[in-house]
Amino acid sequence: MNALRRHRALSLIWASEPGIRGWFSTVNHTDLGRMFIVTAFFFFVVGGLLAMLIRAQLATPHSAFAGPDIYNQIFTMHGTIMMFLFAIPTFEGLAVYLLPKMLGTRDLAFPRLTAYGYWCYAFGGTMLLVSMLLGIAPDGGWFMYPPLSGAIHSPGINTDFWLIGITFVEISAIAAAVEITVSILKYRAPGMSMDRMPIFAWYALVTALMILTGFPPLILGSVLLEVERAFGLPFFQADLGGDSLLWQHLFWLFGHPEVYIIFLPAAGVISTVLPVMCRTTLLGYGWIVAAAVALAFLSFGLWVHHMFTTGIPHMGLAFFSAASTLVAVPTAVQIFAWIGTMWRGRPELHMPMLHILGFFVTFVIGGLTGVMVAVVPFDWQAHDTAFVTAHLHYVLFGGFVFPVLAGLYYWLPHVTGRRRFFRLGEFAFALIFIGFHVTFLAMHWVGLMGQRRRIPTYAPEDGWTAINLVSSVGSFVLAIGLAMVLFDIILNSVTAVRGRRDPWKAGTLEWAMILPPPAYNFASLPQVTGRDPLTRDPDLTSRLARGKGYLGRPRHGWRETLTVDVATGHPDFHVVYPSNTRLPIVMSAITGLFFLSLLLKLYWLTPLALAGVAVLACRWVWTLGRADDLPAQDIGHGLSLRPATATDRAPGWWGSVFLLTANATFFGSLLFGFAFLWTVAPGWPPPAWFTPSVLEICIGLAGAATGPIAIRWAIQAVRREANAMPALAIAFAAAGAIGVACAAMMLRAPDPGGHAYGATLTVLSGYGLFHAGLVALMIAVLIAKVRGGLTSTRRRSDFPVVGLWVDYLAATGTLILLVGHLPGFLS
Amino acid sequence: MLLSGATLIFVLVTGLVALPFLRRKGTASERHEIRTWVIGLGLAFPMTVLAALLAYGLVIGERLLPYPGDAVVEVAATGSRDGWIFTYSDAADRTTSAVLHIPAGRPVDVAITTEDVIHSFWVPRLAGKLDAIPGHVNVLRIEADAPGTYQGLSAEFSGPGYANLTFTVTAHDGAGWRAFLVGKTE
């Protein structure tokens, strides 16, 4: 089989459906990565237009351009869109597109999940856009502080759009994070040990883990606030035992890591692109990985620095001030490692390099003003002024937009297979750079003169007129520059001449393929022996195309790949991916229906939508099953691998581990909220504690003790080809027992609308009840699979997955029951 | 001082970025490079600067804290979306809106809270800002060196009308303050 015939055979297997139909049924990471990035840049344009409206409003005093009502919607949506609908999805898009190619494999771990995440993002973003077109967009600021965003002070539907729409979009972030983590750990080319991974993969891994632990507090906050608005459970109302500070903690517990979730992927782009631009390798690979990990840990200790003015004791402030300044250290390590890389190499001024220089200048200024606001007395003055607005734009534009533009120009030849022909980009860069600094240097200045953030207008006596006008003019120069970049990219994508393979002479694997990339990435998978495989072996691309690597023989119409051992990169199992399907888009549409029913208060529709999602989810797992055992598969070079279903640690198990990590963070945040209200909120202790019941607690704890034992018994049984049914039946009953105990607690909880205590117990027991139902459903599906003959000792990987969820239910159920019943016993 | 230090660091970094374009390719060993760039400039340099800065901030911050003393005047500020209301512990019957009266030259503790959404009490020339949070009372120490009027602002977004949520602080001399307390000043 020659290279061309292999290409045709593989394309037939891997290609999405032709034409526009393919968009809706594709599960291919190249397609979905491009769709993510294009959608994200669409939202970037929308957010940018909103920014232009803000600057038009502030250009002159007493501006009558937009009234306060509209202006509040404009700046709220500007922040919301840039954070949630541009920055995070751009990272997801880059990672989805690049990672399998950089790691030398053919797709991400869960192709259908990639598609599901994309559609959740597209539908959720559309919801927010619709609210804006109807003039009922969120207007409480992107941070949505209650009580301003509560039902009393914001009775309209505006806030609900934010809380529900963003939670819907968040599903895609969690899905992508699980996907990226498992893909990096398990789906790599043979021989690619952790320390041979391209540096971008390290950054993506750290970022994904941060999303899994950073986003759940926000999701929890949104759920609680929406429940308060819709059903009157007073989590944030001070007169009923709630506390608006709880929102601030939950929000910034997400909000600060978010800044680094945005910065780290951009730093990953720089660490990848800069050495190539300097014709050398990255200085201090290990140090940079350590710095990224340190940044991730430190960023979770910083959230309080957004709350320096909320009256937190000064010693507390000292701790968080120290942590906030300390975070500059790992950042400095990266910056100087990059500069060191430039010194060891010979930098060349290509387009990506220009934007990297833009990054250096802008980001360093942003970092320095950041250290200023980390000093508590300075922050007491600068907080909530235009100075902070200017600072955060230096950090985010410098630390994200410039690197992303560098990456865009760097990987554009990869996506299009063309060479840049028109030279608009250089001129656009000059406009962006000058426009940006004029806009935001002026904003620092006017902030120090006392201009507050978020005011719709000001008076001529304030003396800010000239500076604001300069800032607005600068912003229009910046906008023209960005528009030119988009124009340049579109023009060069459709008209320019075909380019070479590996135009930058890079060493990473994404360049070891024909361009634009084929649906299957690599005709055969490489054996990796170092960090820059393509530098070591310039002939690699054609050898892989000729099928000299692993899995070079198309067979059975399978989308095949292999997984590797996490640390060493030795191949361990053989995987067959699912192929094109509309299941993801349908399922995310039904998920959207669920959120829509909450938004429009059509509560009769909510259970129907939930049932629809459950049915589709069952179908999702069912279609992967096989009725017969597959033998070990020959993957070439004398190696053969067993299918991943024949193990206890299949990709699905890893996915569940990381999904449960996010879930546990959510649950932990809920417990934190309970403890916070109890100790800090006014109006505690509540009028009456929950009346404890020995019977209920015994039923629940019996279930929590039996479930994990029964499911282990089932795992043993299927491994020995014995009958697993009795064990599964017991596990099912155990989940039911936990559900019954939680339901009893929910029914008997003190009036949830009367005090935050009753409200918290209701949510806690609801959480337990939901998980009991979920686990029961999983066990039921497993029982059906056993009856349908879809399991055997070589097809047993579902059992340990369900085992994880049973264990999780037992642990959280126990905690919920103890937290609910114990205070009553003790008092 | 913050500004000049920041400018100095900025010039240093941009200089280091620009230099490699002008000079020939470096020849130092990897170990030497790590020692210079990562350990020297990346770790030691920021740690030194930041430790100094942090200590400075804490000392200043400590000086701004409200410590009890016999000369302290106590007032209360309550935010609302209709404007600020001020009450005085030295004159229980006096309530003013939109104007806070204080004596000049004496430390004043402002007990800040709100009756609706979150606001922030800020008189830029007298002190930093502190939030007014439902169900909590935060105490801010302010002091006016000389009699006069000082502009005050709400500094936390509070919905429509936020831009106009301002107040003034009137600092009296000794006689003026006594006159205010007995109700002779409006």
Of A420, A244, A274, give the one whose Cα is nearest residue A344: A274
CA torsion A262→A263→A265→A271, rounded to 10°?
170
Residue in the block written with tokens 């290990």? A286
pLDDT confidence of residue A31: 96
CA dist., res. A90 & res. B109, Å (int):
48
What residues in A contact B142, CB-CB < 8 Å?
Answer: none
pLDDT in tens, A689-745: 999 999 999 999 999 999 999 999 999 999 998 999 999 999 999 999 999 999 999
What phi, psi does B128 have (nearest 5°)? Answer: -75, -175
* Element at B114 (helix H, strand E): strand B108-114
Compare CB distances from A332 to B46, B130, B157 and report the shortest one's residue: B46
B15 interfacial to chain A (CB closer than 8 Å): no
Nearest-CA distance B184 → chain A (Å): 32
Percent of chain A predicted with pLDDT > 70: 100
Question: How much is the average pLDDT of A473-478?
Answer: 96
pLDDT at site B186: 66
Region A745-773: mean pLDDT is 96
B52 touches chain A (CB under 8 A): no
Query: Quick check: A255 and A501 in contact, CB under 8 A?
Result: no
pLDDT at B25: 61
Which residues are CB-neighbours of A728 under 8 A, at least 6 positions away?
A710, A711, A714, A779, A782, A783, A786
Looking at residue B21, its pLDDT comes to 84
Quick check: A209 pLDDT over 90? yes
Question: Which of B33, B62, B136 lies closest to A344 in CB terms?
Answer: B33
Q: What is the mean pLDDT of chain A?
A: 93
Tokens at B49, concatenated = 């600067």
- Which chain A positions have a beta carbon within 8 Å of B43's beta carbon? 329, 332-333
What distance in Å separates residue A340's CA from the closest CA in chain B?
6
Instruction: Report whether pLDDT(A337) > 70.
Output: yes
Residue A190 near residue A569 (C-beta atoms within 8 A): yes
Question: Tokens for A535?
Answer: 């530098």
Res A93 pLDDT > 70: yes
Higher pLDDT, A181 or A500: A181
> Rounded to whole angstroms, how far apart are CA atoms A644 and A25?
25
List the helix and strand counts (H, then E) for chain A: 27, 4
| Per-residue pLDDT reduced to its tens digit, A31-77 | 999 999 999 999 999 999 999 999 999 999 998 888 888 999 999 99
Structure tokens at A45: 């344009």
Residue type, A175: A
User: B179 to chain A, minimum CA–CA distance in Å?
Assistant: 32
Instruction: With CB atoms and an 8 Å threshold, state whether B163 touches A377.
Output: no
Q: What are the residue ranges spanned by the domains of chain A?
A: 670-826
Query: A453 touching B, CB under 8 A?
Result: yes
Task: Check residue A799 and give its pLDDT.
Answer: 96
Residue B53: closest C-alpha in chain A = A375
Amino acid at A318: A
Nearest CA in chain B to A152: B116
**Which backbone phi and psi does A223 adopt, to 5 degrees?**
-60, -45
Mutation target among B112, B162, B165 for the A interface, most CBs of A within 10 A:
B162
**A815 Cβ contact list (under 8 Å, min separation 6):** A667, A671
Helix (H) or strand (E) holding B152: strand B148-154
Q: What would the mean pLDDT of A271-276 be, rounded to a whole number? A: 97
A37 touches chain B (CB under 8 A): no
Strand A571-577 to A639-643 pairing: parallel
> Contacts of residue A384 in chain B, CB cutoff 8 Å?
120, 129, 155-157
Non-local CB neighbours of A654 within 8 Å, separated by 6+ positions: A109, A181, A182, A185, A186
CB atoms within 10 A of CB A9: 17
Model confidence at B24: pLDDT above 70: no
**Which stretches within A375-422 are classed as H helix?**
376-382, 386-396, 402-416
The answer to whether B97 faces chain A, any CB pair under 8 Å, is: no
Contact B16/A at CB under 8 A: yes
| Residue among A342, A276, A264, A336 nearest A532 (CA) | A276
Q: At what angle do helices A244-277 and A199-231 cross, to 10 degrees?
A: 160
Q: By the CB < 8 Å criterion, does B91 face chain A?
A: no
Q: Please provide residue A750's backbone torsions phi and psi, each rounded to the nearest 5 degrees.
A: -55, 155
How far CA B38 is from CA of A15, A208, A286, A456, B28, in Å, comes to 46, 26, 11, 45, 14
Contacts of A283 in chain B (CB under 8 A): 30, 33-34, 37-38
Q: Cβ distance B180 to B101 under 8 Å?
A: yes
Confidence of residue B26 (pLDDT cuts 50, 70, 90): low
Record: contact A245-B136, CB cut-off 8 A: yes
List residues bridging with B86 in a β-sheet.
Answer: B77, B96
Angle (deg, nearest 10), helices A351-374 and B2-22:
160
Q: To the nearest whole angstrom, how far is the Cα of A270 from the nearest Cα of chain B?
A: 14
A152, amino acid identity: I
Per residue in B62-89, pLDDT tens? 777 767 776 889 999 999 999 999 999 9
pLDDT of residue B53: 82
The pLDDT assigned to B118 comes to 94
Mean pLDDT, range A565-578, rounded to an integer: 95
Tokens representing B45 are 């340099």
Average pLDDT over residues B149-166: 90
Q: Are strands B130-132 and B166-172 parallel, antiparallel or unpaired?
A: unpaired
pLDDT at residue A382 in the model: 84
Residue A636 confidence (pLDDT): 92
Q: Which residue(s) pair with A576 in the sheet?
A: A560
pLDDT recorded at residue B1: 67
Task: Express as a percent the part of chain B with pLDDT over 90.
Answer: 46
Q: What is the ipTM of this complex?
A: 0.91
**Which has the minimum average pLDDT: A106-115, A151-160, A584-593, A662-671?**
A151-160
What pLDDT score does B4 carry? 84
Q: Which tops the pLDDT comparison, A316 or A679? A: A679
Section B173-185 average pLDDT = 88
Taking domain B73-181, whether its CATH number is 4.10.93.10 is answered by: no
Check pLDDT > 80 for residue A320: no
pLDDT at A235: 96
Q: What is the H or E stretch that residue A448 is in?
A: helix A424-448
Query: The domain A670-826 belongs to what CATH superfamily?
Result: Cytochrome c oxidase, subunit III, four-helix bundle (1.20.120.80)
Q: Is B25's CB within 8 Å of A342's CB?
A: no
Domain extents in chain B:
2-63, 73-181
Give me the DSSP letters along A622-634.
HTT--SSPPPPEE
What is the 3-state secondary structure of B4-34? HHHHHHHHHHHHHHHHHHHCCCCCCCHHHHH
CA distance to partner chain B, nearest, from residue A716 (Å):
51
Asked if the Cβ–Cβ distance from A343 to B136 is below 8 Å, we say no
- Chain A residues in contact with B156 (beta carbon < 8 A): 145, 384
Amino acid, res. A17:
E
Which pLDDT band holds residue A575 (cuts at 50, 70, 90)?
A: very high
A538 touches B: beta carbon within 8 Å: no
- Between CA B17 and CA A367 the distance in angstroms is 16
pLDDT digits (tens, 9 = 90+) for A359-373: 999 999 998 888 788
With a cut of 80, say whether residue A344 has pLDDT above it.
yes
Cα–Cα dist A629/A775, whole Å: 27
Judged by average pLDDT, the poorest of A195-204, A538-547, B9-18 is B9-18
- Going by C-alpha positions, the residue among A33, A35, A144, A116 that lies closest to residue A592 is A116
Q: pLDDT at residue A170 above 80?
A: yes
User: Which whole number is the average pLDDT over A657-676?
Assistant: 97
Mean pLDDT, to the nearest integer, of A312-319? Answer: 74
pLDDT for residue B23 is more than 90 = no
Question: Over 90: is that where the pLDDT of A203 sits?
Answer: yes
Across residues A176-192, what is the average pLDDT? Answer: 97
